[in-house]
Amino acid sequence: MPQRLAGHDGPVVSRAVTVQAAPSVVFRWLCQLRVAPYSYDLVDNLGRRSPRSLTPGLDSLEVGQRFATIFTLVDWVPDEMVALEITEPVGTSLFGRLPLVYQAVALPGEATSRTTLRGDIALPRAESTVARGRATALAWGDLVMMRRQLLTLARLSEETARSTRSS
């Protein structure tokens, strides 16, 4: 379990994809989450298309920066990990201050060419029937939304890696 989620007492849901790009390229695309969610733009980006090219300066991270509208950056490790937490009032009223960690981890023996892009979200601890229903809905919604997000970020990372190699 990622260090940032270690103190959380609820279940952690993990999603991961393999990316044909170096961790530094994948991490750079994770930084793009500052401006867009990269999942289903009609649903969670008010119909605006998430940028398909890297925005200069988004990799200059500072604790407290907003990510994907409802999250705030709470920690990061350059080229490796961003830890976020829901802080937007609408999100916290629905789910609490949920932690979310994205990691770009080099595959063993493939330090420069293949990466696992992983997302871990800590679900709220379900102490009642309503809380269990909310956590279940969040887990299923996360399955659909984060899967799309990770696949989109993986594709964009691979395109960036290919264009860098061919330059």
Judge whether 138 and 99 are in contact, CB under 8 Å.
no
Quote the number of domains for the chain: 1
Distance of CA 30 to the CA centre of its chain: 7
Backbone angles phi, psi at 53, to 5 degrees: -135, 155
- Flag whether 9 is in a domain: yes
Backbone angles phi, psi at 39, to 5 degrees: -110, -110
- Flag whether 77 is in a domain: yes
Which residues have a Cβ under 8 Å from the Cβ of 147 and sit 6 or more positions away?
A: 15
- Flag whether 140 is in a domain: yes
- Flag whether 40 is in a domain: yes
What is the domain extent for residue 87? 3-162
- Flag whether 153 is in a domain: yes
| Residue 90 CB coordination number (10 Å) | 10
Judge whether 60 and 40 are in contact, CB under 8 Å.
no
**Per-residue pLDDT of the chain in tens (167 residues, 90 and over written 9):** 455 566 667 788 899 999 999 999 999 999 999 998 888 766 665 567 788 899 999 999 999 999 988 899 999 999 999 999 988 888 777 777 788 999 999 998 755 689 999 999 888 777 778 777 777 777 777 777 889 999 999 999 999 999 977 76
- Flag whether 143 is in a domain: yes
In the chain, the DSSP E strands lie at 12-19, 66-67, 71-77, 81-86, 99-106, 115-122
pLDDT in the model for residue 53:
95
- Flag whether 167 is in a domain: no
- Flag whether 114 is in a domain: yes
Domain holding 71: CATH number? Answer: 3.30.530.20
Whole-model pTM?
0.87
| Residue 68 CB coordination number (10 Å) | 21
Residue type, 36: A
